[in-house]
Structure 1
Amino acid sequence: MVSVVVFDADETLLDLRPAVTSSLAVVLEEMRRLSPAAATVSLADLEADWAAVGAVRSAAPVQEVRRAGLALSLARAGLDAELDRMLELFFAHRFALTRPFPDVLPALAELRRHFVLGYATNGNSRTERCGLAGEFAFELYAHENGLPKKPAPEFYAAVVAAAGVPPSEVLYVGDSLDHDVIAPQRAGLRAVWLNRIGTVCRPGVVPDGEVSTMAELLDVIDRSVRQPL
């Protein structure tokens, strides 16, 4: 049966997208203040630069991807020398604005009465900077202590080791079918898909459970996941 529940971070527990968009907008405003050439640069350009770097450097640390994407954006306006300052500006706003979805903290409080809770992410959303300090028994971050990013099997092996129980007793919860359902299941973990936006599940992918809000998670675990294999 499940004794440990481990969570993905961004877009699962944390409402990251608005924080990132707002932070890029702050960077763009500063770019336009510094250089007339930035008048032709758009928010869509900044988002596209990040996506372009992420597509070719998907295994790299998030901080490195963000730095390389922002370097592309600044080069559009001849502001290459401002990279370090703009990166600091971006992350200051990104962390100040990143907070849990409204359903998260009440659900974690209830789940903690029944399970050990863990936090394991590819990103750099540190719990203490995003409104989740003290919520978890353990935390794992990709690229710390040589840990590769999801979906590498070593990531889930580290989750199991931190949980201190067999893989079948660990439930992973997240929004990505590839990273938070398919890969954990291949590693022997259970997996619940947190599908906040109502996406249709891909053929052949069978999560151990599916929820649209964190408030549904305990019931789904009790009904569909918690029983012994």
Structure 2
Amino acid sequence: MLTTVVFDADETLIDLRPAVDAGLRVVLAEMRRLTPAADEVSFADIAGDWDAVYADLVDEPVMRIRRAALARSLARVGLTDELDRMAELFFARRFALSRPFDDALPMLGTLRRSYVLGFATNGNSRADRCGLAAEFSFEVYAHVRGVPKKPSPAFFAAVLAEAGVAPSSVVHVGDSPDKDVQAAQEAGLRGVWLNRDGLPRPPGLRPDAEVRSLAELPSVLERWQYS
């Protein structure tokens, strides 16, 4: 019997991209205020600095990756001494604008009547800083109390420990085919792929369900309960 539904955070419940972009634009504006050299730096340049550092730091905390990306951006114009202040500017703006997708809160309200709800993320989107305070019975964050990032089996072991139920009683919902669906399934959970953009299904991916909107999720779970 399904008792517990666990959600990924960024790009599943939380519309992260507008908040991140706004944070980067604040940083770029401050760089341009400090030095004319930054006039030659584009938004695409500083947005791309995340991709440039990510592969080497993929297992590190997200905040550390973001600081490395900002350091790369600042080094373009000789402003590396401004890293701490720029990071503070970025994160203040990023969290101030982090909000749930429109379909998130109504869906959570519906599911809460029948299921225990959990929040489990690799990132630094704390539920209480992103418009999701008091929505969940438990929260699991990578790099807190030694929990590694998804897709590590140890991440899902931590989720199950918090849930206090067998894997077969848990559904994990997320936007990442490998981290949220395949890894959850390998740990014995059901995996629901939230495919907001209607992307082609990756070869070998067999989610227990695929939805385009979180509004579809309650009916999917109801069918499973009575199938």
Question: Counterpart of 1:53?
Answer: 53
Q: Does 2:104 align with 1:104?
A: yes
- SS at 1:113 equivalent: coil
Question: Counterpart of 2:130?
Answer: 130
Question: Counterpart of 1:14?
Answer: 14
- SS at 2:210 equivalent: strand
Task: Determine if contact 1:209/1:221 at 8 Å carries over to the other structure.
Answer: no
Question: Counterpart of 2:200?
Answer: 200
Q: Which amino acid aligns with 1:139?
A: E
The within-5 A match list for 1:44-123 is: 44-123=44-123
Question: Counterpart of 1:161?
Answer: 161
Q: Distance in 1 between matches of 2:15 and 2:226?
A: 31
Deviations 1:146-190 (A, max 9, x none): 110000110000001111000010100000000110000000001
Question: Counterpart of 2:183?
Answer: 183
Q: Runs of 5+ in structure 2 lacking a partner?
A: none
Question: Counterpart of 1:226?
Answer: 225
- SS at 2:158 equivalent: helix
Give, in angstroms, the shift of residue 227 of structure 1: 5.5
Aligned residues with identical type, % of pairs: 63
Q: Distance in 2 between matches of 1:10 and 1:122?
A: 9
- SS at 2:6 equivalent: strand
Moved more, 213-222 or 131-140: 213-222
Question: Counterpart of 2:37?
Answer: 37
Task: Determine if contact 1:108/1:135 at 8 Å carries over to the other structure.
Answer: yes
Query: Over aligned residue pairs, what C-alpha RMSD do you find?
Result: 1.0
Q: Does 2:181 align with 1:174?
A: no
For normalisation by structure 1, the TM-score amounts to: 0.97
Q: Runs of 5+ in structure 1 lacking a partner?
A: none
For normalisation by structure 2, the TM-score amounts to: 0.98
